[in-house]
């Protein structure tokens, strides 16, 4: 497997993690506000 493909995969995984994390924090934030 080429290094470029590996880097792309890592980048994608990090991006997905960040996205899910931001969604999670948004949910948490809204819950705090609604309380």
Whole-number pLDDT of residue 14: 93
Query: d(Cα 35, Cα 27) in Å, to the nearest integer?
Result: 12
Q: Which three-class secondary structure string do you get for the chain?
A: CCHHHHHHHHHHHHHHHHHHHHHHHHHHHHHHHHC
Identify the domain containing residue 10 by its residue range. 1-35
Structural domain count of the chain: 1
Task: Per residue of the chain (35 residues), give pLDDT as tens.
Answer: 799 999 999 999 999 999 999 999 999 999 988 76
């Amino acid at each position: 497997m080429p290094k470029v493909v590996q880097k792309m995969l890592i980048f994608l995984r990090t991006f997905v993690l960040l996205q899910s994390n931001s969604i999670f924090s948004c949910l948490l934030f809204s819950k705090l506000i609604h309380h």
